[in-house]
């Protein structure tokens, strides 16, 4: 895992010193070494820089930027099957001077060009400077495990692993993108290709960017899309055959991610996903696997007791640490620096803590993210399906008036009838959904279960309201019309929540302390197979993760595993109402908001008042506002 940065500057305003600054701000991603290449070409300045975290081939020969003939590369990530790809290239007459996967990419580029992507199993963001074509080519992995930002304005093209690199270039202009701000406050994260700044973007997962130095322009195109596999016919396969095939794929994916020249461990929560990874690895090796868990003294947030039972049964070398409230709270001030953009998922706090614990013993840690999105593990999926199946029974001429009438039902009455205090805050959303002429299950996932604030409420909050930003939540029309409703939910989440929330969290948390995170469940072969499985093998009679659970039960007794699903979180909202209340006093005062003037104070006051009254419906939005305020002070200079 590393950090990459660079630029193409048609005003010749750059320098080797600027390149070094843009690169070295990423030192936390790569503390083991650095490298820079700067060329003053007739039309532009071109620079590429690299910060190295040594994982495979620790020798100086594997340093970057790495050159081969007329090609140079800077690379963040891993090609796990590089040895097999290398063997193919050796058969074609290629010769190698290192044991690194980086060199394999360069030779694969010469041999196959863009088609090399068909050979790679890995996580990556890399840039190839091709002197022959007078172009650079930027690639991001299929799922979006590794980040890649780019900026294009007034003849300056910047690219980097993290946005903070751009701030080091004197010609980078910081102007907040209103659509990105809107999106952050609605969802708690910003979805690719948007970025918090104008002229800045995230390269979409599974895409490449080709920048022509001669034409001073670039094009972006996909080389892989998860929707392609959801659009394929379902595999005609028995349950037993599907389980056997999936287990084989999982074992292969896990083994690949153990390839390293440094110590490797596994995050173990005791849930099905991390238990699957741990069990499959431990069963296929004699050496005890190093596993790591953090615990909390607050019972509602403590998974350590379950992880300990799993570790004991599997016989791993298990390390657990019970975190103090102060340890967790001390993470909060650092979130804006490492995330670069406003980021609202508070589970980045425990993710950072478990990363710190693991880093004391290992340089690489396997995580088990994406199990929920691939195998249907979230509670929101049966909720969305149930609501959709009930509501579609009523014709439009009944639904529409019911949606209008719902707005007038008193909140107290709704709470009394449903016993749910969250209903009133969602009343406007229920009303809007009922009035949809063409209601889809992904509308429900988006508006009811993903958005914190509706578009109408955003109009009240933002002084410069914008149209609802387009995203893959609105892309169900790209899926085949007869695709099952559960698969629609999984496909959309794989394109939205997974890459732009979950994977951002894991990458930034690990990289904050120079720990490489690897994701076995994000091996593209797994989702390509799972997308074509019948829905009943993912969720059967309400039993979520049906097929994955069956695999786990072959390794760990059912009685150890079966428990209510628990989120990976900390009681941050309780803290903010009590011993961290000073955050509101410092960052959420009228004076603090006046520094940018982006929000209507009346709406802000309402959110704060309801939050401090204990209304949990306002928990997330209060946290999002606080995270924005901390981010603004860090990166906007006030």
The radius of gyration of the chain from alpha carbons, rounded to an integer in Å, stands at: 25
DSSP strand pairing (290-296 vs 264-267): parallel
Looking at residue 507, the DSSP 8-state letter turns out to be H
For residue 3, what pLDDT is reported? 96
> pLDDT tens digits, residue range 538-597?
999 999 999 999 999 999 999 999 877 666 667 889 889 988 999 988 999 999 999 999
- Runs of H (alpha helix) within 407-541: 411-418, 423-434, 441-443, 455-461, 485-495, 497, 503-511, 524-530
Tell me the pLDDT band of 638, cut-offs 50, 70 and 90.
Answer: low
Tell me the pLDDT band of 61, cut-offs 50, 70 and 90.
Answer: confident
Q: Of 420, 422, 421, 424, which Cα lies nearest the Cα of 408?
A: 424
Domain ranges of the chain: 2-224, 228-376+493-561, 380-492, 572-635
For residue 358, what pLDDT is reported? 95
Reply yes or no on whether the pLDDT at 296 is more than 70.
yes
According to DSSP, the residues that pair with 73 across neighbouring strands are 66, 128
544-581: b (≥16 Cβ within 10 Å) or e: bbbbbbbbbeebbeeebbeeeeeebbbbbbebbbeebe
> pLDDT tens digits, residue range 336-355?
999 999 999 999 999 999 99
Residue 97: CB atoms within 10 A of its CB come to 10
**What is the number of residues in the chain?**
638
Query: Exposed (0-12), middle (13-18) or buried (19+): which is 297, by Cβ within 10 Å?
Result: exposed
What mean pLDDT do residues 244-256 have?
97
Tell me the pLDDT band of 408, cut-offs 50, 70 and 90.
Answer: confident
Reply yes or no on whether the pLDDT at 426 is more than 80.
no
Tell me the pLDDT band of 325, cut-offs 50, 70 and 90.
Answer: confident
Reply yes or no on whether the pLDDT at 96 is more than 60.
yes
More confident residue, 87 or 322: 87
**CA angle centred on 577, ends 575 and 578, rounded to 5°:** 65
Tell me the pLDDT band of 424, cut-offs 50, 70 and 90.
Answer: low
> pLDDT tens digits, residue range 73-84?
999 999 999 999
Reply yes or no on whether the pLDDT at 300 is more than 70.
no
More confident residue, 53 or 245: 245
- Residues 311 and 275: their CA atoms lie apart, in Å, by 9
For residue 425, what pLDDT is reported? 66
State how far Cα 298 lies from the chain centre: 27
What mean pLDDT do residues 450-468 have?
90
Instruction: Yes or no: say if 376 and 534 are a contact pair by the CB < 8 Å rule.
Output: no
Cis peptide before 259 (omega within 30 of 0): no
163-201: b (≥16 Cβ within 10 Å) or e: bbbbbbbebbeeebbbbbbbbbbbbbbbbbebbbbbbbb
- Residues 270 and 251: their CA atoms lie apart, in Å, by 18
Reply yes or no on whether the pLDDT at 366 is more than 60.
yes
Instruction: Yes or no: say if 158 and 318 are a contact pair by the CB < 8 Å rule.
Output: no
* 93-97, 106-110, 271-275, 326-330, range with the lowest pLDDT: 326-330
For residue 239, what pLDDT is reported? 97
HEC assignment per residue over 279-334: HHHHHCCCCCCEEEEEEECCHHHCCHHHHHHHHHHHCCEEEEEEECHHHHHCCHHH
Reply yes or no on whether the pLDDT at 418 is more than 60.
no
Q: Of 264, 295, 300, 297, which Cα lies nearest the Cα of 282?
A: 264
Reply yes or no on whether the pLDDT at 264 is more than 80.
yes
Q: How many helices (H) and strands (E) does the chain have?
A: 29, 17
DSSP strand pairing (149-153 vs 156-160): antiparallel
Q: At what angle do helices 178-187 and 619-635 cross, to 10 degrees?
A: 140
Write down the residue that tokens 């790679």 correspond to.
120
Phi-psi region at 395: left, alpha or beta (left = phi > 0; alpha = psi -120 to 50) = beta
Write down the residue that tokens 């059912």 correspond to.
558
Residue 126: CB atoms within 10 A of its CB come to 25
- Residues 133 and 6: their CA atoms lie apart, in Å, by 18
Query: Would you say the CATH fold of 228-376+493-561 matches that of 2-224?
Result: no
For residue 422, what pLDDT is reported? 61
- Residues 113 and 452: their CA atoms lie apart, in Å, by 44
Write down the residue that tokens 């910047």 correspond to.
158
- Residues 24 and 3: their CA atoms lie apart, in Å, by 9
- Residues 3 and 553: their CA atoms lie apart, in Å, by 39
The H or E element containing residue 230 is: helix 226-230
Instruction: Please state which CATH number belongs to domain 2-224.
Output: 3.60.20.10
> pLDDT tens digits, residue range 22-51?
999 999 999 999 999 999 999 999 999 999
Those residues whose C-beta lies under 8 Å from the C-beta of residue 37, and which sit 6 or more positions away, are: 47, 48, 49, 65, 72, 129
- Residues 553 and 127: their CA atoms lie apart, in Å, by 43
Instruction: Pick one of 3.90.105.20, 3.30.505.50, 3.40.140.10, 3.40.50.620 as the CATH number of 228-376+493-561.
Output: 3.40.50.620
- Residues 156 and 46: their CA atoms lie apart, in Å, by 10
> pLDDT tens digits, residue range 167-189?
999 999 999 999 999 999 999 99
Full strand arrangement of the beta sheet holding 45-52 = 33-40, 45-52, 2-9, 156-160, 149-153, 200-202
Reply yes or no on whether the pLDDT at 471 is more than 80.
yes
- Residues 455 and 475: their CA atoms lie apart, in Å, by 18
Q: At what angle do helices 82-91 and 101-112 cross, to 10 degrees?
A: 50
> What 3-state DSSP class applies to 126?
strand
Q: Of 233, 314, 318, 220, which Cα lies nearest the Cα of 275?
A: 314
For residue 500, what pLDDT is reported? 98
**CA angle centred on 142, ends 141 and 148, rounded to 5°:** 40
- Residues 473 and 495: their CA atoms lie apart, in Å, by 8
Q: What is the overall mean pLDDT for the chain?
A: 93
The H or E element containing residue 398 is: helix 396-406
- Residues 493 and 189: their CA atoms lie apart, in Å, by 13
For residue 1, what pLDDT is reported? 62
């Amino acid at each position: 895992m590393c950090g990459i940065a660079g630029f193409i500057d048609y005003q010749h305003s750059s320098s080797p010193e600027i390149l070094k600054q843009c690169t070295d701000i990423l030192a936390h991603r790569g503390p083991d070494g650095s490298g820079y290449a700067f060329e003053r070409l007739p039309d532009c300045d071109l620079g590429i820089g690299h910060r190295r975290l040594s994982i495979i081939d620790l020798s100086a020969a594997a340093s970057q930027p790495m050159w081969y003939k007329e090609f140079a590369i800077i690379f963040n990530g891993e090609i796990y099957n590089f040895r097999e790809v290398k063997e193919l290239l050796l058969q074609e007459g290629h010769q190698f001077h290192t044991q690194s996967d980086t060199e394999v990419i360069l030779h694969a580029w010469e041999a196959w060009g863009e088609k090399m992507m068909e050979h790679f199993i890995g996580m990556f963001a890399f840039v190839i400077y091709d002197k022959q074509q007078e172009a650079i080519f930027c690639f991001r992995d299929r799922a979006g495990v590794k980040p890649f930002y780019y900026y294009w304005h007034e003849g300056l093209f910047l690219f980097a692993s993290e946005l903070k690199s751009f701030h080091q270039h004197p010609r980078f202009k910081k102007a907040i993108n209103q659509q990105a701000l809107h999106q952050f406050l609605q969802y708690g994260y910003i979805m690719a290709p948007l970025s918090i700044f104008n002229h800045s973007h995230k390269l979409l997962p599974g895409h490449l960017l080709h920048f022509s130095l001669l034409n001073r322009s670039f094009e972006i195109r996909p080389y892989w899309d998860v929707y392609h596999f959801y659009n394929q016919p379902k595999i005609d396969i028995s349950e037993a055959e599907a389980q056997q095939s999936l287990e084989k794929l999982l074992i292969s994916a896990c083994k690949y991610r153990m390839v390293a020249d440094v110590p490797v461990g596994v995050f173990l929560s005791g849930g099905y996903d991390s238990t699957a990874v741990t069990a499959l690895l431990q069963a296929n090796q004699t050496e005890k696997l190093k596993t790591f868990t953090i615990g909390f003294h607050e019972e509602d947030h403590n998974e350590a007791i379950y992880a300990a039972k799993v570790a004991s049964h599997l016989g791993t070398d298990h390390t657990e640490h019970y975190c103090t409230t102060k340890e967790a709270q001390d993470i909060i001030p650092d979130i804006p620096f490492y995330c670069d953009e406003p980021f609202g998922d508070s589970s980045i706090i425990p993710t950072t803590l478990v990363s710190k614990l693991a880093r004391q013993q290992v340089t690489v840690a396997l995580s088990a993210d994406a199990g929920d999105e691939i195998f249907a593990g979230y509670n929101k999926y049966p909720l969305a399906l149930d609501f959709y199946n009930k509501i579609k029974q009523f014709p439009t001429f009944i639904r529409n008036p019911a949606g209008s009438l719902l707005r007038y039902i008193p909140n107290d009455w709704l709470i009394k009838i449903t016993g749910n205090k969250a209903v009133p805050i969602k009343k406007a959303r229920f009303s809007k959904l009922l009035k949809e002429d063409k209601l889809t299950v992904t509308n429900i996932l988006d508006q009811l279960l993903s958005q914190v604030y509706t578009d109408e409420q955003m109009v009240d909050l933002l002084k410069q309201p914008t149209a609802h930003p387009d995203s893959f939540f609105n892309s169900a029309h790209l899926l085949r019309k007869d695709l099952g409703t559960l698969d629609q939910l999984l496909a959309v989440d794989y394109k939205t929540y997974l890459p732009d929330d979950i994977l951002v969290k894991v990458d930034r948390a690990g990289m904050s302390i120079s720990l490489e995170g690897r994701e076995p469940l994000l091996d593209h072969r797994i989702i390509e197979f799972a997308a074509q499985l019948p829905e009943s093998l993912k969720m059967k009679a309400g039993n979520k993760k049906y097929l994955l659970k069956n695999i786990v039960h072959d390794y760990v007794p059912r009685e150890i595993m079966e428990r209510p699903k628990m989120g990976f979180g900390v009681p941050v909202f309780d803290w903010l109402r009590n011993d961290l209340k000073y955050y509101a006093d410092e960052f959420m005062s009228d004076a603090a908001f006046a520094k940018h003037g982006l929000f209507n104070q009346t709406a802000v006051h309402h959110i704060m008042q309801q939050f401090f009254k204990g209304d949990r419906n306002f928990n997330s939005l209060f946290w999002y506002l606080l995270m924005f305020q901390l981010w603004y002070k860090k990166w906007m200079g006030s």
